[in-house]
Amino acid sequence: MRAEPQSGRARWRSGKAVAGMSALALGAAALGVAVPAYAAEGCEVEYTVVNEWNSGFTANVSVTNLGDPVDGWELEWDFPGDQQVTNGWNADLSQSGQHVTASGSGWNGSIGTDGTAEFGFNGSGGGDAPGEFSLNGVTCDGGTGDPDPDPEPTPDPTEDPDPDPDPDPEPGERVDNPYEGADLYVNPVWSEKAADEPGGDAIADEPTALWLDRIGAIEGNDSPTTGDMGLRDHLDEAVAQAGDRPVNIQVVVYNLPGRDCAALASNGELGQEEIGRYKTEYIDVIADIMDDEEYSDLRISTIIEPDSLPNLVTNVGSRDTATENCDTMLENGNYVEGVAYALSELGDIPNVYNYVDAGHHGWIGWDTNLGPSVEVFMEAATTGGATVDDVHGFAVNTANYSALTEPHFDVDDTVNGQQVRQSDWVDWNQYVDEQTFAQALRQEAVSQGFNSDIGMLIDTSRNGWGGPERPTEPSSSNDLNTFIEDSRVDRRFNPGNWCNQAGAGLGERPTVAPASGIDAYSWIKPPGESDGSSELIDNDEGKGFDEMCDPDYEGNVRNGNSPSGALPNAPIAGHWFSAQFQELLANAHPSV
């Protein structure tokens, strides 16, 4: 069983254009944009068509400011033909005839000297690149008009030093995006279960991640996720699946001491203080296997410890969401120490690409959570032997249900004079979807010192929200809450709900480099594996019963005291849940 089509995407990349022509420093004041008087001005634009289909295309645009810092920017261009912007992200785009204006706002609103702002859009018509761009009225030609331009400008930490790296790196050298130019590993254990379900054949060849959710899973102990194949067997199978291109196998590292401190459904086998066992019986063993010469041609993407570090921000201390277990894990430092150890040991292996789990927008999308979460990620990335070079990127929405995009509204929209952010559903969050959240988190991480070429993964296995309940157009209501309720595709009772959500569907199929800063949409949570039992079920895996998985539960402060929205009759976390698989298939978006 091989994963074929999803890996072709990256090869459609085309039409890359770096704009540049005559240099002249022109005043930007005419546009009403605030820039320092007598500012040195200049810019460079990279316009990349990352995808093209019959009637449309997706373009990513990266604008580098070579002059003095700008606070507020407008990038303008003329399309060469009848292209029309249909929707965009990370910038406000407007079009009149062939003329397009993109302006940055919010976190993407200012660009420092040699800094870069990135945004993207979908368009109709062909993907031919525009010939010329101007930033705040200044033609982007790669110069500044500065009479004494610095011949060797100091590199900017926020700028990708090598945005288009050699796809065939030297042995031992990591590629920029390990999903690009690779086939993704199809886990035969999951595949077989999916194929056994009615209609499951249609997706059984999709690549899903392998969860090492306990020490025994490394050797293969008939756990539901790894089956009777141990890590070595899966790596051998990945080698066997390789055709002309390298295989990327995705492995979730998930066994911290005191695991899942804000919930009970995925508590694990290691007690809160068992950091020693985590290191020697778990990480060391995994690292030893992955480091085997036999596997050196694989690309191994690890997703490190879902949900752990964000819990140290939102579920501790004086917050009313705090839990005793998360307080303990913050105090004893074992989450940070464990993640740091995993990063440094696995990061020593040249073909391992570590992605640190970073929650999802409905959890850390508020400014009070986002910056502080990245600070904790940085702490983990600089503790023990770990360095930022051990972090290849971050994964969001792992095993969650947050919508990839909300097609009928943006966070900056207003309804009858009221901001979308004020609605009960959005509740002042800065984001309404995972894509803009992932891109912003990436930017925040880079600004706090992570490498500028980090990439993001978004788990799209269960955030499709298709089926008959999916709104097909924006509501016409003038009442903000009614508008949002009737327009949003995420049909949960509350974005804090996470267990076996009724009405959810499969999301975007795994896709390589789908948008700026995103390495891949990936199926990290294997569809059909439960999030937790809907009632207490005795087990020897350390899993508890969490009321959030009980369909009759009316909620708590972490989900706005809303109904749990969970499906009934669920088995314990990680076990096969046929009814959920059926529902995910039926509500898939895009449909299967």
With 0-12 / 13-18 / 19 or more C-beta atoms within 10 angstroms meaning exposed / middle / buried, residue 448 is middle
By C-beta, is 259 or 442 nearer to ligand BGC? 259
Closest alpha carbon to 35 in 109, 106, 132: 109
Closest alpha carbon to 363 in 399, 337, 409, 410: 399
Q: Which residue is closest to ligand BGC by CB? A: 574
Separation of alpha carbons 391 and 451, rounded Å: 8
- Residue 47 phi/psi, 5-degree rounding, is -115, 115
473 is in an annotated binding site: no
Residue given tokens 């039926």 in the structure block: 586
Separation of alpha carbons 105 and 317, rounded Å: 33
213 is in an annotated binding site: yes
Strands (E), 141-262: 183-184, 210-212, 247-253
- The rounded Cα 347 to chain-centroid distance in angstroms is 20
Separation of alpha carbons 406 and 487, rounded Å: 8
Instruction: State which of residues 134, 177, 225, 373 lies at the interface with ligand BGC (CB under 6 A).
Output: 225
360 is in an annotated binding site: yes
Q: Is 414 helix (H, G, I), strand (E, B) or coil?
A: strand
Tokens of 284: 């060391």
By C-beta, is 225 or 460 nearer to ligand BGC? 225
Tokens of 580: 């959920």
Instruction: State which of residues 176, 183, 213, 305 lies at the interface with ligand BGC (CB under 6 A).
Output: 213
| Stretch in the footprint of ligand BGC (CB under 6 A) among 24-32, 176-184, 420-428, 523-531 | 523-531
529 is in an annotated binding site: yes
Instruction: State which of residues 57, 77, 179, 211 lies at the interface with ligand BGC (CB under 6 A).
Output: 211
By C-beta, is 118 or 529 nearer to ligand BGC? 529
CA–CA distances in Å: residue 326 to residues 166, 261, 264: 43, 5, 12
| Stretch in the footprint of ligand BGC (CB under 6 A) among 83-91, 190-198, 415-423, 524-532 | 524-532
Closest alpha carbon to 18 in 44, 52, 50: 44
Q: Which of 459, 519, 531, 550 is catalytic?
A: 531
Q: Work out whether strand 133-135 and strand 138-139 pair parallel, antiparallel, or are unpaired.
A: antiparallel
Separation of alpha carbons 193 and 571, rounded Å: 15
260 is catalytic: yes
Query: Is residue 526 within the footprint of ligand BGC (CB under 6 A)?
Result: yes
- The distance of closest approach from Cβ of residue 572 to ligand BGC in the complex, given in angstroms and rounded to an integer, is 8
190 is in an annotated binding site: no
73 is in an annotated binding site: no
Instruction: State which of residues 46, 183, 529, 583 lies at the interface with ligand BGC (CB under 6 A).
Output: 529
Query: Is residue 444 within the footprint of ligand BGC (CB under 6 A)?
Result: no
366 is in an annotated binding site: no
Instruction: State which of residues 574, 576, 581, 587 lies at the interface with ligand BGC (CB under 6 A).
Output: 574
307 is catalytic: yes
- The distance of closest approach from Cβ of residue 396 to ligand BGC in the complex, given in angstroms and rounded to an integer, is 16
Spell out the residues 6+ positions from residue 49 whose beta carbon is closer than 8 angstroms to its own. Answer: 13, 14, 15, 16, 57, 58, 59, 127, 129
Q: Which of 183, 260, 357, 519 is catalytic?
A: 260
Q: One symbol per residue from 392 to 411: x for binding ligand BGC (CB under 6 A), - otherwise; what is it?
A: -------x------------
Separation of alpha carbons 49 and 59, rounded Å: 4
Q: One symbol per residue from 246 to 275: x for binding ligand BGC (CB under 6 A), - otherwise; what is it?
A: --------------------x---------
Query: Is residue 206 within the footprint of ligand BGC (CB under 6 A)?
Result: no
- How far apart, in Å, do the first and last CA atoms of the chain sit? 18
Separation of alpha carbons 464 and 508, rounded Å: 7
By C-beta, is 77 or 498 nearer to ligand BGC? 498
490 is catalytic: no
Binding-site residues sit at 211, 213, 360, 363, 400, 498, 525, 529
State the catalytic residues: 260, 307, 531
Interface with ligand BGC (CB under 6 A): 211, 213, 225, 266, 399, 525-526, 529, 531, 573-574
Binding-site residues for substrate sit at 211, 213, 360, 363, 400, 498, 525, 529
